[in-house]
Amino acid sequence: MNFTTALARLLVFPGLLFALPAAWFFLWVERKAVALMQGRVGPPFMQPFFDFIKLLGKTTPPRKGVADLLMRAWPLLAAASAAGAVGLLPVLPMSGGFEGDLILLLALLEVPSMCIIAAGFSSRSLFGAIGSAREAVLSVSYNIVFLMAIVSIAASQHTFRLEALAQLPASPLRWLGILALLVCLPAKLHLNPFSLPNAEQEIYSGPMTEYAGPELALWELSHGLEWVAATGLVATLVAPHLTLWWLAAVVFVAICFAIVLLLSVVATATARLAIDSTVRFYWQCTLIFVVLAISSALFTRLRS
């Protein structure tokens, strides 16, 4: 992939020019779907964008020393890494890429979670520290399943290149890995039943308690970009290989939209789990996934 192609993917599609509106749109779909299922009207179409602009016009609370620099840096780093992850998605045919870009994508997807953990402890708030501790425990729990699913998909297709994975025909182990990714997405996106780090009824906004103004706007933007990157990763693995660029883009957006609706419905229909129940759930999922993955790999090898 040359410099021009990389710049176009990062800035145009599926980069910032697409990712920013898509982030606000997915946030609106989530809130609207939850509202409709609860019998409410829900926010207007432009509300996430209006909230972002409103927060940009507010002031941040005064802080002193290194804590101020750190609390300003974490949301900026989280948003930048999420945007970079979106730019790596091989949505269009012959979009380039490089060997091992899947590993870079996984690393960029983990940065926002690490920033949230650091932000809560940097805020010197009791509620922020509790939220960060919950985020750390949750991240360790679901990331075992998440990383195992990605590695199993890549190993079954014998490549860590995203474009090659998107073009190769699906195997049983690949579909099993995609199912495991879907199980991990509610925890990665802080949705019920795994919304422990930002449980408003218990710890206010968790790691975000001491944030306001432009910094909080960047956190909201980072969350929206995580929606695009996480659902986009699943969409690129699910979508069939298409040669027409406009059809590939339409299918990609449609699959992402369907995943957002699915996760929103699950979040509305479930209650928040306690931290011990969450850890137990993902450890059980890990054991089940290991057994199924090994069985699928042996079955595939026997058939070949």
> Tens-digit pLDDT profile for the chain (304 aa)?
566 776 777 777 888 889 999 999 999 999 999 899 888 998 999 999 999 999 998 888 777 778 888 889 999 999 999 999 998 888 876 666 778 889 999 999 999 999 999 998 888 888 888 888 888 989 988 998 898 888 888 887 888 888 888 887 777 788 888 999 999 999 999 888 888 766 555 556 678 888 888 999 999 999 999 999 999 999 999 988 777 888 888 999 999 999 999 999 999 888 888 888 888 888 888 878 877 877 776 676 666 6
**pLDDT on residue 241:** 77
Do 24 and 45 meet the contact criterion of CB atoms below 8 Å apart? no
**pLDDT on residue 294:** 72
**CA–CA separation, 10 vs 33, rounded Å?**
30
Do 247 and 105 meet the contact criterion of CB atoms below 8 Å apart? no
Phi-psi region of 100 (alpha: psi -120 to 50; beta: other; left: phi over 0): left
**pLDDT on residue 95:** 67
3-state SS assignment for residue 122: helix
Phi, psi of 78 (to 5 degrees): -65, -45
CB burial string 18-30: b at 16+ within 10 A, e below = bbbebbbbbbbbb
**pLDDT on residue 1:** 58
Neighbours of 108 (CB within 10 A): 19
**pLDDT on residue 221:** 94
**pLDDT on residue 197:** 66
**pLDDT on residue 90:** 85
What Cα–Cα distance (Å) separates residue 288 from each residue in 223, 226, 284?
29, 27, 6
**pLDDT on residue 204:** 63
**CA–CA separation, 100 vs 159, rounded Å?**
8
**CA–CA separation, 213 vs 52, rounded Å?**
9
3-state SS assignment for residue 274: coil
Token pair of 26 as six digits:
């997915």
Output the pTM of the full model: 0.91
